[in-house]
Structure 1
Amino acid sequence: MSTQPIIVQKYGGSSVATPERLREVAKLVVERYRGGNRIVVVVSAMGKTTDGLIAQARSVSARPHGRELDMLVTAGERISMALLSMAIGDLGVEAISFTGSQSGIITDESHQNARVLEVRPERIDQELDRGRVVIDAGFQGVSRAREITTLGRGGSDTTAVALAAALHAETCEIYSDVDGVYSADPNVVPEAKLIPELAYVTMQTMAGAGAKVLNADAVEFARKAGIIIHARKTGDTSGRETRVMDDAREPAPVTAVVHSEAMSTVRCSRDALDETLRAVRDCGGRVVDVRLDNGALMVIDRTGVPGADNERLPNALPASMVTLAGTALLARNILGEALVGLDPRLVLASDLALSFVLEPGEANAVVKSLHQRFMDRP
């Protein structure tokens, strides 16, 4: 058995969006391999392939069956894994590609949002011992009933971290088109700063509030396994990155300002609460908060809800949300200061986050204001 360290890398859809980018990734992988490492690469589907496949499904069926939708969309990762394996082979290094099921990713029986139950990486171990680079399809697994499943949006991150834990990898590296996690979306706040270190709990809070760099389930998997995640930009050799870890040194009192425009509030009677929760789950939404007062008021994240499915939530009012994230927000008593000039529909507070549910279209201006107020201090 080889004593060379195992490195697990994950490349997102933008990093493998074209044949040219795939070849560039292949060069990066081969360089690390020839540096004396055993390499496992997890890939997403190329570019917007998954969105295109879902659109095709919607063009033939108003409500595609979950099983068949998973069978369809997992084809995207199979394409990119096979192409990357071929590109690496052309550079003189043996590579082999595996689907989620071949990689031993065992999940529950949920479709579109399955949870990883265990990883049985025997075939990966065998191929690594043969000196091959292993390319794994992200985002997918297989249930104990032998049904193909998908892990939800950002599920390739979860695949990478789960494999890193099972293989006792030295490093788990998540590559995308940005060089880490920022204090706000740089497209909204150009002066946003790269955050060198983030605590697991802060990153989970940010991911749940709309930050797109890392998947919340992947971060939870890393926390339980004690794996440090390195979030980097594909091809960047500057050393800039964000490390997600246990004992991170974060800016205080606010680490980041995160926003999402894909939110809704839903009001229903208490008697209709279970039915409404089921409708939210069935259409791919995520319940962020529930308030019980003269009925029930729910805050819903609609990021994973296809447009056609919004009609299944007739009482949903579109909203946006801005979140201040940090490890000790309430202890610093900043709620009053944060509310100056704001008229939110709802305020959600915890030790790790202050979230303001706003009217649609208000988020960008509020993000800029709060970032200047809390992040640009000397």
Structure 2
Amino acid sequence: MHASRPILVQKYGGSSVANPELLQIVARNVVAACERGYQVVVVVSAMGDTTNQLLDMAHQVTSEPPRRELDMLLSAGERISMALLSMAIQSHGLEAISLTGSQSGIITNDRHYEARIIEVRPVRIEDELAKGRVVIVAGFQGVSYKREITTLGRGGSDTTAVALAAALDAEACEIYTDVDGVYDADPRVNLDAERLSEISFREMEELARCGAKVLHAESVEFARRHNIALYVKSTKGSVGGTLIRKDRKADERKTFLAISCMPALTMLDCTLLKGQREQLFSLLEEHQLSPSFSDISSVYAELLFQRERCPNLESFQKTLAHELDTEVDVMDVAAVHVVGSDVGRDAALIRRCYALLAEGLDQLPVRLFVSPLRLSFVIMPKHIIDAQTLLYKIVEDKRNL
């Protein structure tokens, strides 16, 4: 490898590589980085809505596609974009090569559809960089220690990029998307939403786990563990961006508050008899499901799942009712979150949020989940836009103090 040339990892999301014209814009960005003296590794997502289209086809074939076969199917999307981008870069006179996740040394556990990276062995990437090539890696995918193709869940290309940045000791990891950074609310819903120039790992991870689409939560967790600064930028090259880095000291940190949402949740409720709580945990493990929120006691269980991350939720529901011999109530809901430092300990803030929702919605929240960093109001899906707008007044109030 060219020891004097630092490594830069860039990741481009699906909207940035959605068609040949956009692929050429990305290629020019990569060429510019090389001209600045970097060895460049590019991680790409599938083009545009390719992943959704593949999922739709799978569900036309069967209502509950096996997770292993979903991984085989969905991993094809990134292979298309990586090959096309390699062609585009080569058309600009640079040497480039595309590699799948397994060729790149992305080793995962054996959990299909939402695998986690356990090791990165970037030997092939290092060899190609040493030959002076740009390396394009298919994001979102890897290979398990059982030699099975796996995928990392929605947004998993972010995690691929961060993991490679750590393994390659890269100078920086840049995440390119169709927005110019991380905002304190969805700018499509709240027109006054402000871009955050800087945010801590802890704050960004909480936002991502609460539905913010800019970054995959596991990628932020990985960056935090390895102390890799992340830069979220617009592919279009507009001024701005957001730097995500380690927590600042309390006296250096401005008060952080933001709104995010999960528009498509399914809530399962059931009663439990003695000994059935442990059985419930076993069933969750068997179906490889992790609730976004849960309230489980010795006599009652309430579980909330993001539907897009749980392709076998219907099967779990039926198994739960059969194995526990209980009735499972099912409700489609949504959630809006107030994320910020110590919000869960601020009784006045919680009261203010409730008052805003009570005044502006025709139905009170179904449920409230509280943690130190977030307030999660479970609401009816029809209220998801109005609830975000109402709660953004909290952010504006804090900003004007």
SS at match of 1:340: helix
Equivalent in the alignment of 1:321: 335
Distance 1:293 1:250 in 2: 41
Q: Is the 8 A contact 1:280 1:286 kept in 2?
A: no
1:217-273 superposed Cα distances (whole Å, 9 cap, x missing partner):
0000000000011111102141x1111111356542x52011122123221122455
Decide whether the 8 Å contact of 1:322 with 1:355 is kept in 2. Answer: yes
Structure 1 CA distance for aligned equivalents of residues 78 and 289 of structure 2:
21
Counterpart of 1:73 in structure 2 is 74
Q: Deviations over 1:262-297 (max 9, x none)?
A: 123221122455666636984866332224274112
Q: Residues 284-333 of structure 1: CA distance to partner in whole angstroms, max 9, x if unpaired?
A: 66332224274112233223245x95575362211111111112224544
Mapped to 2, the partners of 1:185 and 1:327 lie a distance apart of 19
Distance in structure 2 (CA, Å) of the matches to 1:132 and 1:189: 43
**Aligned residues of 2:307 and 2:313 also touching (Cα < 8 A):** no
1:181 Cα deviation after fit:
1.0
Does 117-126 or 51-60 show the bigger shift?
A: 51-60
Partner of 1:243: 243
Larger mean Cα displacement after TM superposition, 216-225 or 61-70: 61-70
Kindly tell me: are residues 225 and 263 of structure 1, through their superposed partners in 2, closer, same or farther at Cα, counting changes over 3 Å? same
| Residue of structure 2 aligned with 1:352, choices 366, 373, 380 | 373
- Which residue of structure 1 lines up, in the alignment, with residue 187 of structure 2? 186
Identify the residue that residue 201 of structure 1 maps to in structure 2: 202
Mean Cα deviation higher: 156-165 or 45-54: 45-54
**Deviation beyond 6 Å, 4+ runs, structure 1:** none
**Does residue 141 of the first structure (1) align with residue 155 of the second (2)?**
no
* 1:340 maps onto 2:361 in alignment: no
Question: Partner of 1:62 in structure 2?
Answer: 63
Between the aligned partners of 1:205 and 1:274, the Cα distance in structure 2 is: 28
1:258 aligns with 2:260: yes
Number of residue pairs matched? 375
- Give 1:288's aligned residue: 293
Give the letter aligned to residue 360 of structure 1.
Answer: P
* Inter-partner Cα distance in structure 1 for 2:235 and 2:287: 35
**Structure-2 separation of matches of 1:353 and 1:26:** 39
**Separation in structure 1 between the aligned mates of residue 135 and residue 211 of structure 2, nearest angstrom:** 31
Secondary structure in 1 matching 2:183:
coil
Amino acid across the alignment from 2:309: G
Instruction: Please give the alpha-carbon distance, in whole angstroms, between the structure 1 residues aligned to 2:158 and 2:382.
Output: 29
SS at match of 2:337: strand
Amino acid paired to 1:165: A
Contact kept in structure 1, 2:140 and 2:155, CA below 8 Å? yes
TM-score by length of structure 2 reads: 0.88
CA distance in structure 1 between the aligned counterparts of 2:32 and 2:212, rounded to whole angstroms: 31
Q: Is the 8 A contact 1:176 1:233 kept in 2?
A: yes
Aligned residue number for residue 54 of structure 2: 53
- SS, match of residue 33 in structure 1: helix
More off after superposition, 9-18 vs 273-282: 273-282
- The alpha-carbon distance between structure 1 residues 63 and 302, as it changes in their structure 2 partners (threshold 3 A), is closer
Percent of aligned pairs sharing the same letter: 45
Q: Which amino acid aligns with 2:245?
A: M
Report the 3-state secondary structure (helix = DSSP H, G, I; strand = E; otherwise coil) of the residue aligned with 1:56. helix
What is the letter of the counterpart of residue 215 of structure 2?
A: L
Given that 1:261 and 1:361 are in contact with CA atoms closer than 8 Å, whether structure 2 keeps it comes out as no
Give the structure 2 partner of residue 371 of structure 1.
392
Q: Which residue in the other structure is 2:33 paired with?
A: 32
More deviation, 263-272/155-164: 263-272
Deviation at 1:156, TM superposition (A): 0.2
CA distance 1:58–1:303, change in 2 (3 Å):
closer
SS in 2 for 1:100: coil
Residue identity opposite 1:289 in structure 2: S
In structure 2, the partner of 1:165 is 166
Comparing 149-158 and 281-290, the one that deviates more: 281-290
Quick check: 1:139–1:150 contact (8 Å CA) kept in 2?
A: yes
CA distance in 1 between partners of 2:110 and 2:270 (Å): 29
Deviations 1:49-107 (A, max 9, x none): 11111222222233222222211111111111011001101100000110000000000
Scaled by the length of structure 1, what TM-score is found?
A: 0.93
Determine the C-alpha separation between the residues in 1 that align with 2:62 and 2:303: 29
